[in-house]
Amino acid sequence: MLALQGAFKEHERALQAIGARTRLVRLPAELDDLDALVIPGGESTTMTILMERMGLWEPVRKALSEGLPALATCAGMIVLARDITDGVNGQHGFGLLDIAVRRNGYGRQVHSFEAPVRVEGLDHEFPGVFIRAPFVEDTGTADVYAVQDDQPVGVRQGRLTALCFHPELSGDLRLHREFVNAL
């Protein structure tokens, strides 16, 4: 669990509720021997700055590029993206997920909403919680596996899974369970 900023505690609770062991990652050495990494929602520019200051940017990028599975939500999706179409000056993602995203694509905090999401492989819709969510403008070579009103809100590419919404805030553990079971 990348634990610099954002909703990492909520992800930690969800993972522990399904019996997964968790570790908070704040320093490069804490990446050793992980089975996977969760990159939570939060504020993407702050998360990027903190990763750079803590010496985590390159070690995390390297671990993910070498195949460490990741579940990235909201700001985490932005951090993984190839293109951030409206990022602050100089903002960049890892470029590991072949998507283009627009930060706060659904609007500011006041425009946050909940809506049903159709997720491939789930027998009924998932309760999507969208808070200052990124908008996927281009899916590139990533596979779309979740949609809300026909808009891609969940993608996968290799061992990377990214969601525009916050499953950790929904009370529904299916996506966390699915992620852990795929490891």
Q: Output the pLDDT for position 89.
A: 74
Q: Output the pLDDT for position 106.
A: 77
> Which tokens belong to 154?
């969940």
Residue 84: HSE in the Cβ half-sphere, 13 Å Cα cutoff: 26
DSSP one-letter string for 77-96: HHHHEEEETTPSTT------
Residue 69: HSE in the Cβ half-sphere, 13 Å Cα cutoff: 13
Give yes or no for a contact between 6 and 43, defined as CB atoms under 8 angstroms apart.
Answer: yes
Which of these is catalytic: 11, 12, 164, 166? 166
Residue 74 bears catalytic tag: yes
Taking only the tens of pLDDT, the chain with its 183 residues reads: 999 999 999 999 999 999 999 999 999 999 999 999 999 999 999 999 999 999 999 999 999 999 999 999 999 999 999 999 887 777 789 999 999 999 878 777 777 899 999 999 999 999 999 998 999 999 999 999 999 999 999 999 999 999 999 999 999 999 999 999 999
Return the residue matching tokens 């610099």: 4
Alpha helices in the chain (DSSP H): 8-17, 44-53, 57-65, 75-80, 174-181
How many residues would you count in the chain? Answer: 183
Which of these is catalytic: 11, 12, 74, 164? 74
In the chain, the domains with their CATH numbers are 8-181 (3.40.50.880)
CA distance 108 to 174: 27
Q: Output the pLDDT for position 90.
A: 73
CA distance 143 to 154: 8
Residue 11 bears catalytic tag: no
Asked whether the whole model's pTM tops 0.75, one would answer yes
Residue 114 bears catalytic tag: no
Which of these is catalytic: 11, 12, 164, 168? 168
- Enumerate residues 6+ apart whose C-beta is below 8 A from 53: none
DSSP one-letter string for 118-139: EETT-SS-EEEEESS--EEEE-
